[in-house]
Amino acid sequence: DWKAENIAEREIEKIKKLVGETGEVILGLSGGVDSAVAAVLVHRAIGDRLHCIFVDNGLLRKGERELVEHAFRDHVGLDLTTVDARKRFVDGLAGVTDPERKRKIIGNEFVEVFRVEAKRFQDARFLGQGTLYPDVIESVAVHGGNTAVIKSHHNVGGLPDDLDMELVEPLRELFKDEVREVGRYLGLDERILMRQPFPGPGLAVRIAGEITQERLDLLAEADAICTAEIEAAGAHKTLWQYFAVLLPVKSVGVMGDARTYENACALRIVESVDGMTADWGYLDHQLLRRISNRIINEVKGINRVVLDISSKPPATIEWE
């Protein structure tokens, strides 16, 4: 019978054996559950010989960097390096509107940033990754041939082989809900454990069209309000994802007795079991009203909020 405790202790033993008495591991934290649980397992096994790297690519949700630093540096006590690469990513994305090009640029930048950081840990021969069982299956299926690629998912962990490091992947036999159980057993922050999925390319694929620092800031603010209100109402428990998308359109509004001509954002709120198919989620009208009022009143630069009521398929969950 399946027990988080047994799995955790088994994986910790396996890591100890693989890495040995002196081996060092580098691991890229993404802020997501998988890399988090992988990191804590490796940390339990080898302590300070684990070096974690968190890349702030400027495409994160509001407060995300602080949450990661607090949870892992202060609470777990990991050796964590935050790399401030915001400018590099935003500059690299300037003028780019095609979603797949955005993903490609972000993926490449990530690899370069990670490569530079990893050089600082000369003695590290091992690379930790939060690869799950479904990832293992999926990559076999994709590499096996005929799967049409709709979106080329970039994850932290999409690192090139030429880093020439041995992989440490303690979640390779686990499913997502099992990973959460293991994380809970290890005492990981619930806010990290229960977070909704967030794509590797982050807010870049939630800004339809061109990305600028100003648009990133607008979206981060609107998204934080959407998330906070839904969570405060407890409505997130039945939802798979709930977030804001910044649209490439301006519209006319009126504020006091002045005319405005500002941005619009969409609320994307979906129910799903695995992200493969999804239904748009029903939210109470009062809750929707609060989200809309707060965004329009508090986020200067957004004067209209619309609700996305498309299911997947034929729409996808993300707009890009």
- 235 marked ligand binding residue: no
The nearest distance, CB 101 to ligand XMP, in angstroms, is 12
Question: Which range, of 85-93, 135-143, 199-207, 297-305, touches ligand XMP by CB under 6 A?
Answer: 199-207
CA–CA distances in Å: residue 162 to residues 38, 91, 136: 22, 26, 20
The nearest distance, CB 1 to ligand XMP, in angstroms, is 30
- 32 marked ligand binding residue: yes
Cβ atoms within 10 Å of 233's Cβ, excluding its own: 15
The nearest distance, CB 51 to ligand XMP, in angstroms, is 23
Which one, of 216, 148, 177, lies nearest residue 37 by Cα? Answer: 177
Q: Does the protein bind ligand XMP through residue 241 (CB under 6 A)? A: yes
d(CA 269, CA 287): 12
Residues in region 90-129 near ligand XMP by CB under 6 A: 103
Q: Which is nearer to ligand XMP, 81 or 316 (CB)?
A: 316
Residues in region 258-277 near ligand XMP by CB under 6 A: 275
Residue 225 contacts residue 299 (beta carbons within 8 Å): yes
Q: Which is nearer to ligand XMP, 72 or 319 (CB)?
A: 319
- 264 marked ligand binding residue: no
CA–CA distances in Å: residue 132 to residues 41, 101, 267, 278: 14, 26, 29, 21
Residues in region 140-179 near ligand XMP by CB under 6 A: 151, 153-155
Indicate left, alpha or beta for 168 from its phi (over 0: left) and psi (-120 to 50: alpha): beta
d(CA 179, CA 158): 20
Sign of the C-alpha dihedral, residues 103, 107, 109, 114? positive
The nearest distance, CB 117 to ligand XMP, in angstroms, is 20
- Residues annotated within the binding site are 30-36
Interacting residue ranges for ligand XMP, rule: CB under 6 A: 103, 151, 153-155, 197, 199-201, 241, 275, 312, 316-318
- Residues annotated within the binding site for ATP are 30-36
